[in-house]
Amino acid sequence: MDARLLAFFIFSTIAVFGSLMVIFKKNPVASAFALVVVFFSFAGLYAVMAAHLVAALQILVYTGAIMVLFVFVIMLLNQDSPIEDLKASSGAFKGIAAIAVSGLVYLLIRAALLARGVRPAGDLTDEKLANAGGNVRAVSESLFSDHLFHFELTSFLLLGAIVGTIALAKRGAGKEGAAT
């Protein structure tokens, strides 16, 4: 077995089990740290596919910045309220969720089987990337020229999420302070 294929199976197995831990952990902080494991395994998958820039960005942006934001928000908004358990959900909800998950798994398997041997769409071959100055330069030029609006919009959305989180936390803290 090829080492790349073995690494792919190892990282994908870690990603699947980490994702299941994200879903089934009752503590939101433990769930967030399980998501960190998933992000690291995605970075490993990107590295196996020779997308080293995307692997590094996965670790820096998602694992570093976004997860710090998630954990900050979870701890800031921790209301010490009881967490709804999956056992308390209705049977209809569980049935709908099972059908939806089954459909998604079917689509994923079908897409994987149909995609064998298909090369990614686009005009960037290895030679064109080398002539353009490398993968990092090609991605950065595309990001800051063709997709600049989307890049800036994402930063404003994250800023709005942070401000909204702090506003909700302050509103909750004000009510608690008034009651005591």
Q: Three-class SS string for 10-33?
A: HHHHHHHHHHHHHHHCCCHHHHHH
Q: Distance between CA atoms of 49 and 111, rounded to whole angstroms? A: 18
Q: Which two tokens stand for residue 122?
A: 């686009």
Render pLDDT for 110-168 as a digit per residue (tens, 0 to 9): 777 776 665 555 666 677 777 777 777 877 777 778 888 887 888 888 788 778 777 77
Mean pLDDT along residues 10-15: 92
124: helix, coil or strand?
coil
Q: Distance between CA atoms of 60 and 63, rounded to whole angstroms? A: 6
Closest to 94 (Cα-Cα) out of 82, 102, 105:
102
Phi, psi torsion values for 132, nearest 5 degrees: -80, -5
Render pLDDT for 41-71 as a digit per residue (tens, 0 to 9): 999 999 888 888 888 888 888 888 888 777 7
The DSSP letter of residue 122 is: S
pLDDT of 25 higher than 70:
yes
pTM: 0.54
Give yes or no for a contact between 29 and 10, defined as CB atoms under 8 angstroms apart: no
Radius of gyration of the chain (CA): 21
Q: Distance between CA atoms of 127 and 159, rounded to whole angstroms? A: 39
